């Protein structure tokens, strides 16, 4: 080997090592950049998923709030409609008693609280009908007394008492002309007590058991409000 070759070999080796030293960090830098890009992309995806999850939760809360507001408005509308019906009834538009009795004292015992009911004195009317039902439990006017007592209790915001009295009317005289209207008052009382399922059941009973009545048409429209 010539002296020139011997002197060139260290230079070539040094150059090769230098190139290797340069090339290795270049690959390392490329790998680092790729890893960094992947990590950044993963973080971006995670942030997007987190935002989407938060958005879904917020939307669910908003939907639930709106549903609650709609249910409240429906209940208020139902209350206003029945109060209007009750007001009309106090003016005598719900009809006169379907029967009268021969005993003047018995008739007077019914007519007195009935007059209070028409005057809008619901608390006094309820007490009067209670007295009538106690003194004349077998009267032909019992069903009507229970109906107007239940109506008086509803107007006086005794919703549980109203339901109890009107349910007694329906159980004892399911074919009474006011049975369907009694169920309307029961449904209104159940709405006041936030018993929406009970109210729906009462309205559905009107439609099923008393389909030919005016109350059935009213029940259908109120069921739509409660959907």
Q: Does 71 have pLDDT greater than 90?
A: no
Of 137, 143, 133, the closest CA to residue 181 belongs to 143
The predicted pLDDT at position 17 comes to: 47
Sign, CA dihedral 149-177-190-76, equals negative
pLDDT, averaged across the chain:
78
Contact 135, 166 (CB under 8 A): no
Contact 97, 114 (CB under 8 A): yes
pLDDT in tens, 151-202: 999 988 999 999 999 999 999 999 998 899 999 999 999 988 999 999 999 9
The predicted pLDDT at position 92 comes to: 43
Q: What percent of the chain has pLDDT over 90?
A: 43
Q: Does 11 have pLDDT greater than 60?
A: no
The dotted CATH code for 76-225 is 1.25.40.10
Q: Does 31 have pLDDT greater than 60?
A: yes
């Amino acid at each position: 080997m010539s002296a020139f070759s011997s002197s060139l070999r260290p230079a070539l080796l040094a150059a090769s090592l230098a190139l290797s030293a340069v090339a290795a960090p270049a690959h390392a830098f490329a790998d680092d950049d790729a890893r960094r890009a992947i990590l950044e992309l993963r973080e971006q995806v995670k942030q997007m998923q987190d935002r989407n999850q938060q958005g879904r939760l917020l939307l669910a809360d908003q939907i639930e709030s709106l549903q609650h507001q709609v249910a409240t408005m429906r209940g208020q509308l139902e209350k206003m409609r029945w109060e209007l019906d009750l007001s009309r009834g106090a003016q005598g538009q719900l009809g006169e008693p379907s029967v009268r009795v021969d005993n003047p004292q018995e008739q007077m015992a019914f007519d007195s609280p009935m007059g209070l009911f028409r005057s809008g004195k619901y608390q006094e009317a309820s007490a009067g009908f209670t007295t009538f039902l106690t003194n004349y439990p077998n009267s032909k006017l019992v069903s009507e007394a229970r109906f107007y007592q239940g109506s008086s209790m509803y107007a006086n915001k005794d919703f549980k008492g109203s339901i109890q009295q009107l349910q007694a009317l329906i159980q004892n005289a399911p074919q009474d002309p006011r049975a369907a209207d009694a169920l309307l008052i029961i449904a209104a009382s159940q709405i006041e007590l936030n018993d929406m399922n009970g109210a729906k059941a009462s309205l559905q009973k009107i439609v099923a058991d008393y389909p030919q009545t005016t109350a059935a048409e009213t029940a259908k429209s109120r069921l739509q409000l409660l959907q």
